[in-house]
Amino acid sequence: MIELIEKLVAEAGVTTDQAQKSVEVIKNFVKEKFPMLGGAVDNMLGTTSVNNDDGLDG
């Protein structure tokens, strides 16, 4: 999850908060449209809470 947020920050030029929210929206969208994938999505993306101690700039 942190890797995806870092990639969004670096390549899309968004803030860490924006990247976290984007991933959360996408995660919820996939789970809503494909409920059978809910567990896999949760396992793959987990939580989107990241703090600055992880080396991400906000």
Domain that holds residue 45: 2-49
- pTM here is 0.70
Tell whether 57 is covered by a domain. no
Q: Find the mean pLDDT for residues 16-38.
A: 94
Q: Is 56 contained in some domain?
A: no
pLDDT tier at 1, thresholds 50, 70, 90: confident
What's the Cα-to-Cα distance from 9 to each of 15, 35, 38, 42, 51, rounded to whole Å? 6, 28, 25, 21, 14
| 11 found inside a domain | yes
Q: Is the pLDDT of residue 48 over 70?
A: no
Count: domains in the chain: 1
* pLDDT for 51: 52
